Amino acid sequence: MKSRAPVLIVGSMAFDDLELPSGNFKDTLGGSATYAAFAASTFTEVRVVAIVGDDFPEATIKSLAARGVRTEGIERAKGKTFRWAGRYDADLASRTTLDTQLNVFADFAPKIPAESASSPIVLLGNIHPALQADVLNQVGRPQIIIADTMNFWIKGEREKLVSLLNRVDVLIINDEEARDLSGIHNIRKAALEIRKMGPHSLIIKRGEHGAMLFDDTGIFAVPGFPLEDVVDPTGAGDSFAGGFVGALAQHVTGEGGTAAGREALSKHARTAMIYGSATASRCVEGVGTAKVELLDTASVEARVLQIRALFELTPA
């Protein structure tokens, strides 16, 4: 089922060199926009704005287009594509960055195509908060604005980030980032402090332990699905965000402005989080985007049922 509310995703497209317990994998497709777009396109039309170098394969852009992703916002610049290298510990719970090469991403200045500027839902991937603000200046006021960030921006660009939060409906970060942003260790108190900065809703990702939602209606927690074999956690958070916005888009018509968007969040954010968790759990079963590229509604719905079963007090 496709939504009438397309999603605009702005972020990075990259190559990753991964050292995993299962082996080393060079030139793996990565980037926040890549993972999120593949995930969200399972549910709705997606419009991507990103930058790649002249070394980026045209086949990947065609793969996105084949899933209904609008790719005219992907800029191809002279030079090399953003590249990241990382080594994961044996338990896959932590990783060490070995190399980061911004390449053409260093000069990324998002240019939003005219049609994409009217997208009712905007997902701002983990990029400089000044670039995130520039995107919002180009799109006006969508019904729902969702943003991601990281410790690097929290520590290095705090003023710009806090200014951005006044314009955001949903902030998605992990528990370490929540503590850094708020200066408070207790997650519940940290969430309260962060929501005072502007976001209507806050989602705190907790890795294999799932995610928590804090909004006006209270607190909701969705578990991570306990997998027998986790292959690669890279992109799990971006896949969660893509699944979340894609599922949420099913309940947004593009009419009614900000009030309608907030109403959709209040009614459907919890269900959308379960879809985000399901999508992320599918992603980590393969290396890079291998699994998320092939997502379909049947496989996600099957995992949603498995996650919902974790809540059942009485076995079926």
pLDDT per position as a tens digit, 195-211: 999 999 999 999 889 99
Burial state string for 170-188 with b = 16 or more CB within 10 A and e = fewer than 16: bbbbbbebbbbbbebeebe
Domain residue limits, the chain:
7-309
Q: Which homologous superfamily does the CATH classification assign to the domain defined by 7-309?
A: Ribokinase (3.40.1190.20)
The backbone region for 126, taken as left when phi is positive above 0, alpha when psi lies in -120 to 50, beta otherwise, is: beta
| Gap between the Cα atoms of 270 and 280, Å rounded | 15
More confident residue, 308 or 1: 308
Q: How far apart are CA 101 and CA 106, in angstroms?
A: 9
pLDDT in tens, 142-196: 999 999 999 999 999 999 999 999 999 999 999 999 999 999 999 999 999 999 9
Mean pLDDT, the chain, integer? 94
Report the share of the chain in percent with pLDDT over 70.
98
pLDDT tens column, 243-298? 999 999 998 877 767 888 888 898 999 999 999 999 999 999 999 999 999 999 99
Q: What number of H helices and E strands is found in the chain? A: 10, 13
Query: b/e string for 75-90 if b means 16 or more Cβ within 10 A?
Result: bebeebbbbbbbebee
pTM value is 0.95
> Can you give the pLDDT at residue 21?
95
DSSP single-letter state for residue 251: T
Phi first, then psi: give them for residue 274, nearest 5 degrees. -65, -40
Question: What is the average pLDDT across 230-250?
Answer: 96
Tokens matching residue 69 = 């992703």
